[in-house]
Chain A
Amino acid sequence: MEVFYLVVFVCGLVLAIDFFAMWALNNAVTTSGPFVVSSPGRLVIILTLAVVVAGGLLAAVQVPDQLYSGVGYILYPFIWTIQKIANAVGIDRALLEALGDTEFAGWVRESLYGWATALTFHAFGNAIVIGLTFIIGLRLIGMFRAISYAAVLRLFPIIWFGVLVQVLSGFSLWMTKPARYTGDSMFDTKFTLVVIGIIVTIFFERVFRQEAANWEAAGAVSSRGLRWAGLAAVAWAGVLVGGRLTAYLGTLYMQ
């Protein structure tokens, strides 16, 4: 489980450094006063750094596996709900195996170009969703102030395009061995995070559309807007980490 803690530590540390670098660079060129972090913002930064430090400490010392499982329990209610919904609509193991036996699944699995194409599209879907969510998040906390909120709204359709690419390519990849993917705990966690990410982004966009004019008039974003922006960034970052760990921590590729 050392890998998981190290991923939290290394990625958290690098992204925190990036955040402070963006902060410094933004303030170096701003003409409308420096970007100041609010008290809740400061609390978020302190909490993030605490998680990073905890990740580093847990990676450095031997900790019982139960602690790692505890991280999974946070997501368990969501995973359980998704499993119940799947069962209710009749998705069972036989159906999954039948999906894996289709001609399309065979093409993605066995042909050189099928797997490579789906994986490439998946990578770009990922880059669009995470890249643009981070840019919108930074705008909302006070950076790039020359960009209006109305203009930022135009980025949401592109994010949805990225999500569509991710879903289609992800579905193609999943179809190569649906029964095995679905039984893998890391994949279940990642899939749950994707569902959470999509739901959070729907709410985030709705709040953005409702409140953008008020933010423009007040010159500041409401705490509701900031909360959704933060949740969206964390959820999609979790999807990326989950995707990487699915390849290395789960049972799918470690044969």
Chain B
Amino acid sequence: MHWIPQSWSHLHILVSVFPSVGLVFTLGFYVTAVITNNDGMRRICLFLFAILGLLAIPTYVSGDRSIVQVSQHPGFSEAALNSHYGWGLAAVAAIVLTGLVAIYELFQSQRAGWAKGQALNVVLVVSIITLVIMVLTDDYGFEINHHELTNPPRLVPGTSAPQMWSHVHMVLNHFPTVGFVIALAVFVAALAMNNDVMKRSSLTLFVICGALVIPTYVTGTGSMWALTQPPMEGISKAVINAHRDIALLALFGLAFTGGTAWVELWRSRNLGRFSGTSQLLILIFAVITLGILAETGHRGGQINHPEIHVAGDVLPTDPNAFWTPWIELKINNVIWFVPWQTVHFFGYCLIFGTALVIVLRVVGFWKSMPFSAVHQILPLGFLGVMMNVFTGMLMMLADSYRYIVQNTTFAPKMALIPIGVMAILYFSLSDRIWQVKAGEDAPASAKAVAYLVLLAWTGVIMGGRLLPYL
């Protein structure tokens, strides 16, 4: 079973992302629990903080042993190892402290009902400080063997892609993956405890992961160009393509799980309850997607981590042996490009039309309608987003160098998509906007979100339409 790490460095790479990236999402859930005053969710978050604190042990031990292992490899900088080790010690101490404070808080709350605000603040402050130390530690960690970041190869104008793509991809790819694990853990706990706030929060995180996977996939493709043009020593296009194949599946798995979660959030907002069948479906999709994500991460790690290769590893050698190059070739042909592009155009019409109608109601144009009536139109925009994620990624694959490296409007377009998706979540999550009746004004916060939605999707469409010209 190749997913089980067979070296200390492999274990370290795998485990170390959980305390850092996991902390971001756990903090998000914790803040939600405090705001919604949900006791069950607060307890789960404290439990998660404690787990993250415990993970510091395998992270430290594997890191410590890795140093011995990797220092035998030529090309691993001793200075970078020392900096990472120093900050790593501080990070381990901080996350252990966060875990201990969380355990103390958990016991206190068991004994005397829910705890005092001061203790909550301690958990928050300690975990935020820990997060800052973690960010610094991770960045020093990247520098150990990712020399392309610290000492990038010379850019050949018109040929090379900047290493910024690899850097952003390395940071970004951990968010939909680790976030997905946290979302699944909270979702399972929510099902077991039948806690609606936890269900809503985990479904929201599934949607956020589904939105984040789009820029993750795109930056991954950008990294491919950065690492292969001009070719770099030790980087194999065949190994990259093996990763890209499964990454495409992961993209659709995350988008599908996120999409199903969004539908359930929308549906439950209308009916005031969750559907057992939908929850079971989401759970099944999430478990399958998790398996795909694990394999994606494993194949991604093999691209630029020679220290995790073991004797039995058989790495691919034929760069044309995978189906991503086949899709690239197929969609690049006008016969297939035009139909999918036409679907993409229908998709943006559905997205913009829906966003416009919702925004017009929120800002006061369509006040004769209660917000709940307009909310029913939202799935039309959702279907537009799903259509365009599918067709857009296929078209991007067909001509990725031009889109990613040569065009100036593609990167902002990709950055705006998650913002547009996450902003739309507000309309199914906010209680205040849901209670806006016919003739009533929407709250100012809803108006601000509405303008953000309109701006984000306007930017996305402009970024796409101007692709061939700027």
In the complex, whether A158 has a CB less than 8 A from a CB of chain B is: yes
- Among the listed B338, B350, B356, which residue makes an inter-chain contact with A3, where contact means beta carbons less than 8 Å apart? B338
Contacting residues, chain A, for B75 (C-beta < 8 A): none
Given contacts A120-B462, A151-B369, 17 further A-B contacts (CB under 8 A): A6-B335, A10-B340, A11-B342, A14-B343, A15-B346, A21-B379, A22-B379, A29-B376, A119-B469, A120-B466, A123-B348, A134-B350, A135-B377, A143-B376, A144-B377, A147-B377, A244-B345
In the complex, whether A83 has a CB less than 8 A from a CB of chain B is: no
Q: Are B334 and A3 in contact (CB under 8 A)?
A: yes
Q: Which of B238-289 contact A (CB under 8 A)?
A: 263, 266-267, 270-271
B-contacting 9-mer, from A63-71, A125-133, A196-204? A125-133
Q: How far is B373's CA from A240's CA once the two chains are assembled, in angstroms?
A: 29
In the complex, whether B349 has a CB less than 8 A from a CB of chain A is: yes
Q: How far is B84's CA from A221's CA once the two chains are assembled, in angstroms?
A: 69
Q: How far is B89's CA from A55's CA once the two chains are assembled, in angstroms?
A: 64
Q: Which of B453-470 contact A (CB under 8 A)?
A: 458, 461-462, 465-466, 469-470
By DSSP majority rule, is chain A's interface helix, strand, loop, or mixed?
Answer: helix
Q: Are A241 and B357 in contact (CB under 8 A)?
A: no
What are 19 of the A-B contact pairs (CB < 8 Å)?
A2-B335, A3-B339, A6-B338, A11-B343, A25-B263, A28-B267, A112-B469, A120-B462, A124-B352, A127-B351, A130-B353, A131-B349, A132-B353, A132-B357, A134-B353, A144-B376, A144-B377, A151-B369, A155-B357
Q: Are B373 and A144 in contact (CB under 8 A)?
A: yes
Residue of A nearest to B367 (CB): A151
Q: Are B469 and A116 in contact (CB under 8 A)?
A: yes
Given the interface contacts A3-B338, A22-B380, A248-B334, does A150 sit within 8 Å of B346 by beta carbon?
no
Q: How far is B340's CA from A29's CA once the two chains are assembled, in angstroms?
A: 31
Residue of B nearest to A247 (CB): B338
Q: How far is B308's CA from A83's CA once the two chains are assembled, in angstroms?
A: 71
Residue of B nearest to A249 (CB): B338
Q: Are B466 and A116 in contact (CB under 8 A)?
A: yes
Q: B388: shortest Cβ distance to chain A, in Å?
A: 11
**Could you mark each residue 210-249 of chain A with 1 if its beta carbon is under 8 Å from any beta carbon of chain B, else 0?**
0000000000000000000000000001001101110011
Residue of A nearest to B342 (CB): A244
Given the interface contacts A130-B349, A130-B353, A132-B357, does A25 sit within 8 Å of B379 by beta carbon?
yes
Q: Are A6 and B339 in contact (CB under 8 A)?
A: yes
In the complex, whether A181 has a CB less than 8 A from a CB of chain B is: no
Q: How many residues of A are in contact with the other chain, CB < 8 A? A: 50
In the complex, whether A138 has a CB less than 8 A from a CB of chain B is: yes
**Could you mark each residue 100-144 of chain A with 1 if its beta carbon is under 8 Å from any beta carbon of chain B, else 0?**
000000000000100110011001101110111011001000011
In the complex, whether B372 has a CB less than 8 A from a CB of chain A is: yes
Q: How far is B337's CA from A249's CA once the two chains are assembled, in angstroms?
A: 12
In the complex, whether B63 has a CB less than 8 A from a CB of chain A is: no
Contacting residues, chain B, for A146 (C-beta < 8 A): 369-370, 372-373, 376
| Most central of A25, A241, A249 by chain B CB within 10 Å | A25
Q: B206: shortest Cβ distance to chain A, in Å?
A: 18
Rank and list the top 4 A-B pairs by shortest CB-CB distance, nearest first: A131-B353, A146-B373, A127-B352, A10-B339
Q: How far is B349's CA from A237's CA once the two chains are assembled, in angstroms?
A: 10
Q: Are B366 and A135 in contact (CB under 8 A)?
A: no
Residue of B nearest to A133 (CB): B353
* B contact set with A: CB distance below 8 Å: 263, 266-267, 270-271, 334-336, 338-343, 345-346, 348-354, 356-357, 360, 365-366, 368-370, 372-374, 376-377, 379-380, 383, 387, 458, 461-462, 465-466, 469-470
Summed over the interface, the residue pairs from A and B with CB atoms below 8 Å come to a total of: 143
Q: How far is B335's CA from A3's CA once the two chains are assembled, in angstroms?
A: 5
Contacting residues, chain B, for A124 (C-beta < 8 A): 352, 458, 461
Q: Are B465 and A123 in contact (CB under 8 A)?
A: yes
Q: How far is B338's CA from A123's CA once the two chains are assembled, in angstroms?
A: 17
Q: How far is B338's CA from A124's CA once the two chains are assembled, in angstroms?
A: 20
Contacting residues, chain B, for A21 (C-beta < 8 A): 379, 383
Q: Are B352 and A128 in contact (CB under 8 A)?
A: yes
Q: How far is B374's CA from A18's CA once the two chains are assembled, in angstroms?
A: 19
Q: B190: shortest Cβ distance to chain A, in Å?
A: 21
In the complex, whether A7 has a CB less than 8 A from a CB of chain B is: yes
In the complex, whether A191 has a CB less than 8 A from a CB of chain B is: no
Contacting residues, chain B, for A243 (C-beta < 8 A): 345
Residue of A nearest to B458 (CB): A124
Q: Are A128 and B356 in contact (CB under 8 A)?
A: yes
Residue of A nearest to B357 (CB): A135
Residue of A nearest to B347 (CB): A14
Q: How far is B465's CA from A7's CA once the two chains are assembled, in angstroms?
A: 19
Contacting residues, chain B, for A151 (C-beta < 8 A): 366, 368-369
Q: Are A131 and B373 in contact (CB under 8 A)?
A: no
Q: Are B465 and A120 in contact (CB under 8 A)?
A: yes
Q: Are A119 and B466 in contact (CB under 8 A)?
A: yes
| Most central of A123, A128, A158 by chain B CB within 10 Å | A123
Q: Are A135 and B376 in contact (CB under 8 A)?
A: no
Contacting residues, chain A, for B345 (C-beta < 8 A): 126, 240, 243-244
Q: B90: shortest Cβ distance to chain A, in Å?
A: 49
Q: How far is B383's CA from A29's CA once the two chains are assembled, in angstroms?
A: 17
**Could you mark each residue 1-34 of chain A with 1 if its beta carbon is under 8 Å from any beta carbon of chain B, else 0?**
0110011011100110010011001101100000
Residue of A nearest to B465 (CB): A123
Contacting residues, chain A, for B346 (C-beta < 8 A): 11, 14-15, 130, 237, 240
Contacting residues, chain B, for A119 (C-beta < 8 A): 465-466, 469
Q: How far is B354's CA from A112's CA once the two chains are assembled, in angstroms?
A: 31
Q: Are B466 and A26 in contact (CB under 8 A)?
A: no
Q: How far is B369's CA from A147's CA once the two chains are assembled, in angstroms?
A: 7
